[in-house]
């Protein structure tokens, strides 16, 4: 209602929470805890940090900023690579793979593409790309929004089993909570079930029966490609997939691999001929600098504010433990079953952004890497947002692009998504 972008409120919240934390610490109203579990007060720090001239709270904040920067640098690299592929019309190649007019076949083709692509280029980008393709294949908006709504479910399911498919799984991966191999092994099947169940149920709907009717019977292959389109698409996707391999081989942080992949793709984009006469250098319409300028810095700054706010919760100490850890103890007392907690987190993520939920969970729980709880949180937080159209970044993007009504989605898609979500939860618990 205020028409104020969420990045402004997120940044303001993050900084104000640290301001209150600093003031409370100076007035000895609050204790703080560092990442090693050491308690500090303003007058009697637990180490010699005052003598060294550095405030304990500054040292803790610097540590959290470093961890947040890892995520931000990774996302900047990933977004730039996707924009580079799009700049060279790489995603137009995918449109050429869709040649059917059968509604049911089109549903499954777009769903499978959403599930697979979202594991590589993230669920938000996949949704935007496929909506752009569907606009050319399905002229009727009344028909198209059904495909788009189900793509949200497929894209979110596909992003959950890949460390680079969703911001939340990327956070867990960079935070050392899970490894690529274990995530795929434990979350891959539940995510596949979460995608398949809604699509099987949807194929029975009348809207997906019969053939598509278009105003102009144009071949699906009539679209413009550059000489560089296919090389940029395949090299870009391979370089993004190289990032988890790089981390496994070198044990360096994921953002290092992403920066290496970006540098290689940047070089390819600089020297690869497009087949069109153009100005060489930064002023070229296909220059990598154009792609860099198109990335959504508002989303990056939103994550900065949100993660700063969660870090403030993690820093405040209550009864000798982090506030988040204290909350986890209380939650475990009220709900002893961790599987139930994870399922509820997924449902809540349809209402509250899953980024702060996962960030809070990372501060609340101290399970070892690759424990079942981390894998279950990756699944539920990644797929639970499909229950409402506003529950995920993919859903919000689709809602804006196609003007999908909240109540329409609730009536027609929510039960399908819920069936897939719960089926995936059951598969995860059983297997």
CA distances for 42 relative to 34, 46, 47, angstroms: 13, 10, 11
Under 8 Å between Cβ of 429 and 341: no
Where is 237: in which H helix or E strand?
helix 229-250
CA 284/CA 180 separation, integer angstroms: 38
SS3 122: coil
Q: Across-strand partners of 170? A: none
DSSP 8-state symbol, 302: H
Q: What are 313's two structure tokens?
A: 């919760």
Radius of gyration of the chain (CA): 23
Where is 157: in which H helix or E strand?
helix 141-160
Say which residues have a Cβ less than 8 Å from residue 265's Cβ, sequence separation at least 6: 81, 84, 232, 235, 236, 239
CA 178/CA 171 separation, integer angstroms: 10
CA 385/CA 126 separation, integer angstroms: 16
CA 377/CA 172 separation, integer angstroms: 9
> Which one, of 406, 404, 403, 354, lies nearest residue 383 by Cα?
354
Average pLDDT per block of 10 residues along the chain, 431 residues long: 86 96 91 83 57 74 94 94 93 85 93 95 92 89 94 96 94 94 96 97 92 60 77 95 94 95 95 75 78 90 92 90 90 92 94 89 92 96 93 90 94 96 96 87
Q: What are 26's two structure tokens?
A: 């100076």
Where is 387: in which H helix or E strand?
none
Residues comprising the chain, all counted: 431
Where is 317: in which H helix or E strand?
strand 316-318
pLDDT at 5: 85
CA 131/CA 300 separation, integer angstroms: 23
Under 8 Å between Cβ of 337 and 412: no
Q: Which residues of 21-32 are buried (b: 16+ CB within 10 A; e: fewer)?
A: bbebbeeeebbb
CA 157/CA 405 separation, integer angstroms: 22
Under 8 Å between Cβ of 262 and 80: yes
For the whole prediction, is pTM greater than 0.85?
yes
**In terms of DSSP bridges, do strands 31-33 and 316-318 run parallel, antiparallel, or are they unpaired?**
antiparallel
């Amino acid at each position: 209602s205020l028409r104020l972008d969420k990045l402004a409120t997120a940044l303001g919240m993050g900084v104000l929470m640290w301001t209150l934390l600093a003031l409370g610490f100076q007035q000895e109203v609050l204790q703080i805890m560092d990442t090693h579990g050491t308690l500090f007060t303003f007058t009697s720090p637990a180490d010699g940090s005052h003598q060294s001239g550095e405030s304990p709270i500054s040292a803790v904040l610097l540590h959290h900023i470093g961890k947040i920067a890892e995520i931000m640098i990774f996302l900047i690299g990933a977004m730039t690579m996707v924009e580079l592929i799009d700049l060279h019309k790489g995603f137009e190649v995918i449109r050429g793979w869709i040649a059917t007019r059968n509604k049911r076949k089109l549903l499954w083709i777009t769903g499978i593409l959403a599930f697979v692509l979202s594991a590589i280029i993230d669920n938000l980008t996949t949704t935007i790309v496929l909506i752009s393709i569907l606009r050319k294949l399905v002229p009727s908006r009344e028909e198209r929004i059904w495909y788009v709504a189900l793509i949200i479910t497929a894209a979110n399911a596909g992003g959950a089993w890949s460390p680079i498919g969703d911001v939340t799984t990327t956070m867990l991966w960079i935070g050392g909570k899970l490894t690529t191999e274990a995530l795929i092994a434990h979350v891959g099947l539940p995510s596949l079930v979460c995608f398949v169940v809604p699509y099987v149920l949807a194929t029975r709907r009348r809207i997906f029966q019969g053939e598509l009717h278009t105003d102009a019977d144009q071949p699906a292959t009539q679209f413009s490609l550059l000489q560089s389109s296919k090389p940029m698409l395949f090299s870009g996707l391979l370089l993004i997939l190289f990032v988890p391999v790089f981390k496994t081989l070198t044990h360096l942080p994921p953002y290092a691999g992403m920066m290496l992949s970006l540098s290689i793709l940047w070089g390819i984009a600089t020297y690869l001929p497009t087949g069109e006469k153009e100005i060489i250098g930064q002023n070229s319409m296909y220059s990598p600098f154009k792609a860099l300028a198109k990335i959504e810095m508002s989303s990056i700054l939103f994550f900065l504010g949100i993660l700063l706010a969660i870090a403030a919760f993690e820093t405040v100490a209550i009864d000798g433990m982090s506030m988040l850890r204290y909350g986890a103890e209380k939650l475990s007392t009220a709900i002893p079953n961790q599987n139930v907690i994870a399922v509820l987190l997924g449902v809540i993520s349809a209402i509250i952004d899953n980024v702060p939920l996962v960030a809070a969970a990372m501060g609340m729980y101290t399970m070892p890497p690759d424990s079942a709880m981390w894998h279950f949180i990756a699944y539920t937080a990644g797929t639970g947002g499909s229950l409402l159209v506003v529950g995920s970044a993919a859903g919000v993007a689709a809602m804006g692009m196609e003007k999908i009504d909240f109540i329409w989605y609730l009536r027609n898609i929510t039960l399908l998504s819920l069936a897939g979500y719960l089926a995936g939860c059951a598969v995860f618990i059983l297997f």
